[in-house]
Amino acid sequence: MAEQAITARGEGNNEYMMSKQKSESFVFVKEDPLPLRYRPIADQTLGVRKSPLSSDAKHVRFEEGKDFVVDYDQATIRRTEGSRIPDGSQHPMYGVSPFDHTQYPDYSNRNYTVYADYWTDDPRTDDRFTVSDVERSAYLKRIARKLSSGEEALYVVYGDSISAGGEASEERLAYYGRFAESLRLLFPEGRIKIVNKSVGGEASDGGASRILDDVVPRQPDLVSIGYGMNDQNRHPHGNSVPLKLFESHLRYMVETLRKECGCDILLVTPCEPNPHWEHASGATHLYADTIKKLGVEYGVGVADAHALWNEELSAGKTPESLLLNNINHPNDYGHWIYSCAFASMLKL
């Protein structure tokens, strides 16, 4: 999570822009190095802490050189031998593949996850969007009009446990809370009311079955729809919801909202589950592709969290470092990745 860029001065009094990467998450294994997502500036402080919230007065702060070592040239970080940072190799599910999470009393990564803050000059940390981006995209006509007029706008969050905020420390750090806050900052004269009608463990068939009762009567100004994670779950009989049915359910939800509400609609693609989980089908990308196809067909925005998630994995982030429940729920940093997909959607 990056703070707004500021101007700094380097050698020879040359100016450059830098921003702060906040709460980047890691699960370290032994003394193996992990890549930092962005190259840190060597003469700036790099801090590692146990709590995802920097405001947590009780959290443990780890000491560079004693608990962890940073290679500023290679942009990597590792725990030291004897470090106070938890060792992910001590997780009872470490090295088990495929794993059945129901066989473990505590299968989460909560006790092994730490968070780093550091300064970087990498421009990719910018997760902001502007009023011009909103207007140019034309995806948020109704909610932008109401907010700019000083009215209250209703944002209904619809989907599965990720959209319910699963594993986010606070609602404001869940992806929808971050997105709503960005809109509040752009349109301070208006007010946004969030109503979350997401259901943990639900697939798209459940969403389609209850949208007339749970969403339409509220007459929202904006609805984001986030399904696919539970649909892709692998079982002996096949995926929970086959791809064609998944597409049919999404079509029904979009067409129902258009007919009954006339609201702005955003679709959200799912992240990747832990590939070692026994229910990970390896087909999440197909569900994400279906969502993107429907976005183009209906002319609605798609926050492609799946694409940004895969960029993180390709850059060396481990699934364990992004999934707090070790299965399919993003941690705070993972929710930030989701929120960046909203910015990317509007900047296209």
Q: Which structure tokens are listed for 186?
A: 């752009």
Which pLDDT value is given to residue 14? Answer: 53
Lowest-confidence range among 12-26, 87-101, 137-151, 161-175?
A: 12-26
Dist. CA 276–CA 326, nearest whole Å? 10
Kindly state whether residues 57 and 150 are assigned to the same domain. Answer: no
Q: Of 124, 146, 172, which marks where a domain is finished?
A: 124
Kindly state whether residues 156 and 247 are assigned to the same domain. Answer: yes
CA distances from 254 to 8, 195, 217, 267 (A): 47, 18, 15, 9
Kindly state whether residues 140 and 107 are assigned to the same domain. Answer: no
DSSP annotation of 86: -
pLDDT digits (tens, 9 = 90+) for 37-48: 999 999 999 999
**pLDDT bucket at 17, cuts 50 / 70 / 90:** confident
Kindly state whether residues 243 and 221 are assigned to the same domain. Answer: yes
Q: Of 99, 124, 149, which marks where a domain is finished?
A: 124
Report the alpha-carbon angle 227-228-229, nearest 5: 105
Kindly state whether residues 305 and 320 are assigned to the same domain. Answer: yes
The range of the structural domain enclosing residue 51 comes to 19-124
Q: Of 86, 104, 124, which marks where a domain is finished?
A: 124
Kindly state whether residues 284 and 150 are assigned to the same domain. Answer: yes
Residue 9 lies in a domain: no
Contacts of 10 (CB under 8 A, 6+ apart): 16
**pLDDT more than 70, % of the chain:** 95
Dist. CA 192–CA 183, nearest whole Å? 8
Looking up residue 131, the CATH number of its domain turns out to be: 3.40.50.1110
Q: Which structure tokens are listed for 6?
A: 């500021």
pLDDT digits (tens, 9 = 90+) for 235-258: 988 899 999 999 999 999 999 999
**pLDDT bucket at 274, cuts 50 / 70 / 90:** very high
Hey, which residues does 95 pair with through a beta bridge? none
Kindly state whether residues 79 and 160 are assigned to the same domain. Answer: no
Number of domains in the chain: 2
Determine the average pLDDT of the residues in 305-310.
98
Kindly state whether residues 62 and 132 are assigned to the same domain. Answer: no
